[in-house]
Chain A
Amino acid sequence: MADDKYKIQKIDDYRWRIPREGKMRVDGIVYADEHMLEEIQKDESLQQVINVSYLPGIVSHSLAMPDIHWGYGFPIGGVAAFDMDEGVVSPGGVGYDINCGVRLLRTGLSRVEISNKLESVVNTLFVNIPSGVGSHRKDLKLSQHEVKNVLKNGARWAISHGYGTKEDLEHIEEKGCIPGADPELVSNRAIERGLAQLGTLGSGNHFVEVGYVSEIYDEETARVLGLEKDGVTIVVHTGSRGLGYQVCDDFIRVMIDASRKYNIELPDRQLCCAPINSPEGKEYLAAMACAANYAFANRQMITHWVRESFERALHVSPKESKISLVYDVCHNIAKFEEHVVDGQKKRLCVHRKGATRAFPPNHPDTPDAYKSVGQPVLIPGDMGRCSYVLVGTEKAYYDTFGSTCHGAGRVMSRNQAMKIAKGRSIAQELKEKGILVRADSRATLDEELPEAYKDVTEVVDIVEHAGISRKVAQLKPMCVIKG
């Protein structure tokens, strides 16, 4: 298929190249099928793939996953790796919601055991997990000093304060704590926002969803991941809240000045950046690690309240509910990782903006429990359809810097979604499909209606056909809380 605007070349059924030209330093490569590529071209996201390829020190390609859509600066679904000596780090390549991510919990309960108690489950979760403006746990009061410990230690802080168990840490990307975090580089404003919002869900597309394993594609891998057909699962999707937004905002201002200082030509101001080894680059990475750790702690605390909620709503002990962590992934992050470039091992700074790490079996960073199958990848869909559990592959490691998609990706603007939802009750429609929803704001439900998203199944099928992840199980929702 040829396209005049972008000169797209077909590589194979699931990959498309935007050849390097003009100021592009590398090709753009988009993972999509023909139908999805047509959809993708309706917005500005391919121009954003091209814009990213202009940045100094970018290695191999500017990549886009099939859930790509128009973001700010980087596209959402964008992956780019930078050379440690010549490359840059860009806060716009991570996003405002630093370490927005997903975690999946398994339980020892089956779907039938809870199907007549869903009302109680969803209401208890909604009470126990704060969402909405100004809401927070009354039993949580933090000092500035304590927040700095959160920023340094991430999920480890949460566990040492009784939110979960040591085993949880083994099942979190980076074991729940990104090294190099320096709280002194986080502004007072960011800390002020962080104080009030730790342990809160936030609104928009963030949620806690109780569901069940509806389909298994690979029995052996599912067994290793502890997933059984009809077993109850919980998915938590949230990030670093106002603290992360403020860190990003603060450093975008720093990077606008830095881009001038280092003579970096920007196609979009949102792509402002600084050399990885510059003081500005190092400071951003140390502050970003703080926000990422805050997000790990946030998801860990919410996990603890999920456990408590199940106990209260179902009158089952933790021994009976057996809620344990399958895995926790970041999908807005920049990380130092070792990859193979032109046959040589190289340390790179990999930016994933709306993309998930997908490391193969036996990679040192794949958790011990999953060494034989690969790192779990968690892909939430919209409220009405389903989510997927995948695992990373060798091919992802070599072709996409060990990265894959992160979700369904929107197809409809929020504005369009609101218009389509007008006069409908999204909660009622979902209830008729057997899915209970509690949300702080009706507008959130309207904006997030299922049709506003691509069908996550199509997205996941592309990454599987392209070989950058492997499907393990499908999850279907039973009840959801949203901000």
Chain B
Amino acid sequence: MPKYILIDHTADIGIDVFGTTIEELFANAAFAQFDIITDLSKVECKVEYPVKISGIDREQLLVIWLSELLYLHDVKYLLFKDFHITDMNENQLTASVCGEVFNDDKHVIKTEIKAVTYHGLSIVQENHQWKARVIFDL
């Protein structure tokens, strides 16, 4: 099972993300986001960041989680590749993420993601497998 697949959306880009646990689902969604932004094979784990967020439900938590990482990318020029979720429930998530600062000689930006939207957002559990759909604004 792949971590995620891209889905066709006329203006923007969407992902279907998979995971055997909810933690893995969230980590894979973050991986997908940065895989869309850059070539992750060129990114190393050099800096670590703690992330702590909260939301009204699991779906909003997913959007806020991805938005938080996008904000760090935008202001600190960070590219993340590893996502370790240490604790989470329906309303809260604590994680440690690592990656490195964008370097023009080494990294490429494939796509700029403007934002993580709530449109068509879903998280479901089927046959011991978690699946989420997220659409990004490009």
Contacts and interface: CB of A to CB of B under 8 A. Distances in A.
A272 interface: yes
A94 to B, nearest CB: 12
Sorting the interface of chain B by its residue count into under 10, 10 to 19, 20 to 34 or 35 or more gives 20 to 34
B119 interface: yes
B111 A447 contact: yes
A368 B92 CA distance: 55
Contacts of A427: none
Contacts of A444: 111
A413 B138 contact: no
Contacts of B121: 269
Contacts of A269: 59, 118-119, 121
A95 B74 contact: no
Interface stretch (A243-251, A275-283, A463-471): A243-251
A204 B60 contact: no
Given A249-B67, A410-B11, A415-B8, A72 B74 contact: no
A76 B59 CA distance: 24
B118 A272 contact: yes
A185 interface: no
Interface in A165-189: 189
B117 interface: yes
Given A193-B75, A410-B10, A72 B137 contact: yes
A252 interface: yes
A95 B111 CA distance: 18
A268 B135 CA distance: 13
Sorting the interface of chain A by its residue count into under 10, 10 to 19, 20 to 34 or 35 or more gives 35 or more
A449 to B, nearest CB: 14
Given A95-B137, A133-B77, A193-B75, A204 B112 contact: yes
B119 A134 contact: no
Given A72-B119, A96-B114, A410-B11, A132 B75 contact: no
B49 interface: no
Contacts of A70: 9-11
A372 interface: no
Contacts of B120: 72, 268
B111 A414 contact: yes
B117 A134 contact: no
Nearest to A75: B11
B108 interface: yes
Contacts of A253: 60, 64
30 contacts: A43-B9, A45-B10, A69-B10, A70-B10, A70-B11, A72-B137, A73-B117, A73-B118, A92-B119, A95-B137, A96-B114, A97-B137, A132-B109, A133-B112, A134-B102, A193-B75, A204-B111, A245-B115, A246-B71, A268-B119, A269-B119, A269-B121, A413-B13, A414-B111, A416-B8, A441-B109, A443-B109, A443-B110, A443-B111, A447-B111
